[in-house]
Amino acid sequence: MGQYIAPLRDMQFVMHELLHVEDELKQLPAHAEIDADIINQVLEEGGKFTSQVLFPLNHSGDREGCHYDKETRSVTTPKGFKEAYKQYVEAGWPALSCDPEFGGQGLPLVMNNSFYEMLNSSNQAWTMYPGLSHGAYECIHAHGTPEQQALYLPKLVAGEWTGTMCLTESHCGTDLGLLRTKAEPQADGSYHITGSKIFISAGEQDITSNIIHLVLARLPDAPQGSKGISLFIVPKFLPNADGTLGARNPITCGAIEEKMGIHGNSTCQMNLDGATGWLIGEPHKGLNAMFVFMNAARLGVGMQGLGLTEVAYQNALVYAKDRIQMRSLSGVKAPDKPADPIIVHPDVRRMLLTAKAYAEGGRAFCSYVALQLDKELNHPDEEVSKEAADEVALLTPIIKAFITDNAWIATSECMQVYGGHGFIAEWGMEQYVRDARINMIYEGTNTIQSLDLLGRKILMDNGAKLRKFGEKIQAFVEDNGSNEAMSEFIEPLADIAVKVQKLTMEIGMKAFQNKDEVGAAAVPYLRVVGHMVYAYFFAQMAKIALEKQDSGDKFYVSKLATARFYFAKLLPETAMLIRQARAGSASLMALDADLF
């Protein structure tokens, strides 16, 4: 079913030529010994594993799905998933970026991030089993007691156990302040937890011996709303002090959801009937502790969108070069054939270049943010660490929402390249569209991400974080403004940066009078800012490509053409989006609910 080849050349371009990752890591004591050879070797091995082991299971896993046994309340994953996970563990992939204190390899997140792009390109549904474990690891690593860390982290790092996050309930959705799951304290310091959770990815499976659920629940004295939520570790099997498995905990799967996509992953309804759990962090501060998990998941979902964009593009490109249909409008291009390959047609090229640009822009953006995460966690200068943390906070909702929106666009365009064949399951393209759709919904819908960006990350600090990022753009514009060859990139970049600044001020002023103005503007606003970020990275990539376009390496010719397409065909979307954001809330809120 199609193909997937890890885009190693572009990953290496981003790492070594755009971001100069090796030089950046030398400033971080934990990663100072990492060089380009190590980075390339890890990426190459990751490419082999994902293309040879995981990709062949993607289509079959989607067609087979997961199976639920009502009698045992157990889930069987699709054929081959368990064996692939065993190979994943034996190769040491779960430990890649984890703390060596708990058995990890201690490699930088920017490398792990690229590996996860490959995983998601090759098989998003499978990747969600180990992927959520990283969030559980980060949460326990940040907020667990030393005893909890010693018991759970080595097993998660080794891949022996996986993790989940049990957040929402049927009546909650994103509003977790409404949750009803209860936690009753016990004399031994544990808690008995009772309630029901829904939409729990990988909540039950047959690939590992234990599952560590992180569960949000309320203590008896909890205040109402989100300020009354606590976080608990609730394992499927209660571990003994030596890490061996003890009694089965009464947290069980009541059903698996029938879904539009990601069929190979078990999305579970989980029931807790007095299940034993242990508090993580402080009482009533569970949402704060869970944000470590949620932010990791949001970055991970952005990588899901990027992975699907890349694999859809690769397969659509192969098809467009092979499929013959009609003649080119400007004259015959394949006289030896009865028709021309469809890649000669302008609109087919538009669809392909849309996916190509969104993949390459997303790769540069995600790698940059992962590098900032490495700085936040490891830089010895507290000021540098703080600045990196602020930038990660600003950019995380953009990664989650902008990249997944773009993946929906890109996978749809790539399916369109196939014409009627794209709608047929045997070609595999319609699966990418179905799988891409969930990424816009879970881990906080893209509307929630937009509200977070505009309301919390920007307006709440009067735009301080955004201004700092804008200063980087302004410095790049000033450094390259006199370079005539760069004018086609610098001028639109400078223009969108100014427009973002003005739009932000305008919305902020309106919000003083009416908070609904934020809700009305947030979604188009995030896309405007997302395009500004992409324009910044594409301008940097174009500069490198301009300098090397005559080197004989056609990679730079392609990179330059993609950058030109982005500025000519995709960035102009911002004109419409700015008008939408400025249109305000009046037309949205004027109609009484009973008149809809």
Positions marked active-site = 443
Distances (CA, A) of 579 to 478, 520, 576, 582, 584: 28, 12, 5, 5, 9
Determine which helix (DSSP H) or strand (DSSP E) holds 212, and give its type and residue range: strand 210-217
> Residue 581, Cβ neighbours under 10 Å: how many?
24
Q: What is the rounded distance in angstroms from the CA atom of residue 304 to the CA atom of residue 441?
A: 12
Q: What is the rounded distance in angstroms from the CA atom of residue 142 to the CA atom of residue 397?
A: 21
Indicate the Cα dihedral angle 26, 27, 30, 34, nearest 10°. -20
Determine which helix (DSSP H) or strand (DSSP E) holds 147, and give its type and residue range: helix 146-158
Q: Is the distance from CB of 218 to CB of 229 less than 8 angstroms?
A: yes
Structure tokens at 371: 């590098």
Q: Is the distance from CB of 538 to CB of 566 less than 8 angstroms?
A: yes
Terminal alpha carbon distance of the chain: 45
Tokens 């569209």 identify what position? 433
Q: What is the DSSP string of 471-503?
A: HHHHHHHHHHTT-GGGHHHHHHHHHHHHHHHHH
Q: What is the DSSP string of 336-370?
A: TSSS-BGGGSHHHHHHHHHHHHHHHHHHHHHHHHH
Distances (CA, A) of 511 to 55, 207, 359, 394, 499: 48, 50, 34, 20, 18
| Maximum Cα interatomic distance, the chain, rounded to a whole number of Å | 84
Indicate the Cα dihedral angle 367, 373, 379, 385, nearest 10°. 120
Distances (CA, A) of 194 to 186, 254, 266, 455: 13, 14, 22, 34
Beta bridge partners of 271: 196, 252
Q: What is the DSSP string of 266-297?
A: -EEEEEEEEEEEEEESSTTBHHHHHHHHHHHH
Structure tokens at 372: 């900032």
> Within 13 A of 41's CA, how many CA atoms are on the CB side?
7
